[in-house]
């Protein structure tokens, strides 16, 4: 395992000016520190900047290790979203079956619900650097195998499902591990900016990846997209392989066996704010977001927009751009604001704009409304994630963030399986209005008090 050379001296004062070596020799503050690193100050002086406001995107990017991981994961995530979008299009073209496509999507996302707890436990026990490298290598190999299968004239449907399922299981280990690493790369006071930029990373790649993947698929076919995704993993592999990540804190005497695996649930029960954040996210994802996976049906049935037209591409881009801006706002224009208030205002804004979207029957107003829906959606998600990250200790971070991944991503395929047929029996408008009611209830439920500003428990 890669561990810090020397543990922190418990007798040191809180504002100890010492700095840890992270990554390839860049000096940064230790997690939980209170000052900018030497390189951060140098960057500020070189650029002629004034004091960097803590908690902003700029402050997080001043940390060289975080900056390197951010750029490496951006390239890798772009390749992943290229593959995700092309995979759905290719399997539908191959089979002409919506059912098979839904099975592929469930094989891809279902492991986030079923295996993420195990992934979180591994992230709190084993060297996170080695875990990330192992998963990146596994994803590279599987993407190459998928490219080989896609190049065949009549590929095996069972083989496709098996490969996608293996990719999903790998992601169930990667997601909580990577999310646990992010807070260790910046001083604690800049965590809000780091979490916000991590959300920006995901949404930017979600917008750029499909656009690039669609073009490559049209010119060279799906196999080329899958092969290029395999190459994109080299970016994060090189970054992680040349870094030294902080050591995983050793487990406590009672942190063994099944209790270790279920520690995340124990933390959620013990900490009211963390528990409420997780429940809010799970209910929000399950009841309020099914329409996101059915945006094409919404466009065609309610707005008269052809899902294969440029007009639909623009509608999807507006929603994605809104989500990108919502995530970025938490570390820019909303930096320093009360996260607990942002959560409730975001939920209220989502309820109002989603209601308008559900009742809309003209395409023109749908574009700005979709932008605002996306903004409220990810401003809320990023704020909730930041609150959880600020309160959890490093020793329990992997298992708690595993629950977050389950609440955020794992419930989406289940909600899609349930509400898809319900939309056919009733209408997509009815399902969306039901989600609006739940969002209004969550405005009341998501009472986080002043918990977002509390420090993490001892031992973080």
Residue-level pLDDT at 217: 83
- 385 domain-assigned: yes
- The residue that leads in pLDDT, 360 or 110, is 360
What was the pLDDT predicted at 295?
79
Rounded to two decimals, what is the model's pTM? 0.73
Q: How far is CA 186 from the centre of its chain?
A: 18
Residue 217, domain extent: 56-248
Average pLDDT taken over every residue of the chain: 81
69 within domain boundaries = yes
Q: How far is CA 452 from CA 200, 281, 386, 427, in A?
A: 20, 15, 8, 38
* pLDDT per position as a tens digit, 49-72: 455 687 788 888 999 999 999 999
77-81, 280-284, 389-393: range with highest mean pLDDT: 280-284
CB 264 within 8 A of CB 400: yes
| pLDDT for 3 beyond 60 | no
User: Is residue 253 very low, low, confident or very high in pLDDT (cuts 50, 70, 90)?
Assistant: low
In this structure, the answer to whether residues 175 and 269 fall within a common structural domain is: no
Query: Nearest-CA neighbor of 456 among 407, 409, 392, 411?
Result: 392
Q: Does residue 308 share a domain with residue 271? A: yes
Query: Are 292 and 424 within one domain?
Result: yes
pLDDT at res. 440: 97
Judge whether 390 lies within some domain. yes
Go through 424-460 and write b for each residue having 16 or more CB atoms within 10 A of its CB, e for each that does not.
eeeebbebbebbbebbbebbeebebeebbeeebeeeb
Considering the domain architecture, whether residues 100 and 234 belong to the same structural domain is answered as yes
pLDDT of residue 31: 39
Count of the separate structural domains present in the chain:
2
Task: Report if residue 31 sits inside a domain.
Answer: no
Q: When comparing pLDDT for 192 and 355, which is higher?
A: 355
Confidence of residue 14 (pLDDT cuts 50, 70, 90): very low
Same domain, yes or no: 225 and 298: no
pLDDT over threshold 50, residue 187 = yes
Q: Say whether both 411 and 331 belong to one domain.
A: yes
DSSP 298-353: HHHHHH---TTSHHHHHHHHHHHHHHHHHHHHTTTTTTTS-HHHHHHHHHHHHHHH
């Amino acid at each position: 395992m890669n561990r810090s050379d020397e543990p922190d001296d418990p007798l040191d004062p809180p504002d100890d000016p010492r700095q840890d070596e992270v990554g390839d020799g860049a000096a940064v503050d230790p997690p939980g520190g209170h000052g900018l690193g030497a390189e951060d100050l140098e960057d500020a002086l070189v650029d002629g900047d004034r004091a960097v406001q803590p908690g902003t995107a700029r402050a997080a990017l001043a940390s060289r290790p975080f900056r390197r991981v951010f750029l490496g994961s951006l390239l890798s995530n772009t390749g992943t979203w290229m593959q995700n979008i092309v995979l759905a299009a290719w399997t539908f073209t191959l089979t002409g079956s919506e059912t098979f496509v839904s099975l592929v999507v469930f094989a891809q996302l279902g492991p986030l619900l079923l295996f993420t707890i195990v992934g979180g436990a591994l992230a709190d026990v084993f060297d996170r650097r080695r875990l990330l490298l192992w998963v990146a290598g596994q994803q590279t190999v599987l993407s190459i195998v998928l490219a080989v299968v896609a190049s065949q004239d009549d590929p095996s449907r069972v083989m496709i499902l098996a490969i996608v399922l293996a990719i999903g299981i790998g992601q169930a280990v990667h997601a909580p591990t990577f999310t646990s690493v992010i807070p260790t790369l910046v001083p604690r006071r800049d965590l809000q900016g780091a979490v916000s930029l991590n959300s920006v990373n995901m949404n930017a790649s979600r917008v750029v990846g499909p656009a690039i993947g669609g073009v490559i698929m049209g010119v060279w076919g799906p196999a080329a997209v899958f092969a290029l995704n395999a190459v994109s993993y080299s970016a994060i592999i090189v970054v992680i392989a040349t870094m030294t990540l902080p050591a995983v804190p050793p487990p406590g005497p009672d942190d063994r066996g099944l209790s270790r695996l279920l520690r995340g649930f124990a933390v959620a029960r013990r900490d009211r704010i963390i528990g409420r954040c997780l429940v809010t996210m799970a209910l929000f994802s399950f009841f309020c977001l099914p329409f996101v996976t059915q945006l094409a049906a919404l466009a065609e049935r309610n707005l008269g927009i052809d899902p294969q037209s440029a007009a639909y591409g623009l509608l999807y881009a507006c929603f994605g751009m809104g989500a990108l801006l919502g995530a970025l706002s938490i570390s820019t224009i909303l930096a320093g604001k009360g996260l607990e208030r942002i959560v409730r205002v975001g939920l209220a804004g989502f309820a109002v704009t989603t209601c308008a979207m559900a009742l809309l029957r003209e395409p023109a107003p749908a574009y700005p409304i979709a932008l605002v829906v996306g903004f409220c959606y990810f401003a809320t998600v990023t704020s909730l994630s930041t609150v959880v990250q600020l309160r959890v200790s490093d020793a329990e971070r992997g298992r708690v963030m595993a629950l977050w991944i389950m609440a955020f991503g794992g419930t989406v395929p289940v909600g899609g399986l349930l509400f898809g047929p319900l939309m056919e029996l009733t209408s997509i408008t009815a399902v969306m209005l039901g989600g609006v009611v739940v969002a209004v209830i969550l405005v009341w439920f998501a009472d986080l008090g002043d918990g977002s500003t509390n420090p993490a428990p001892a031992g973080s």
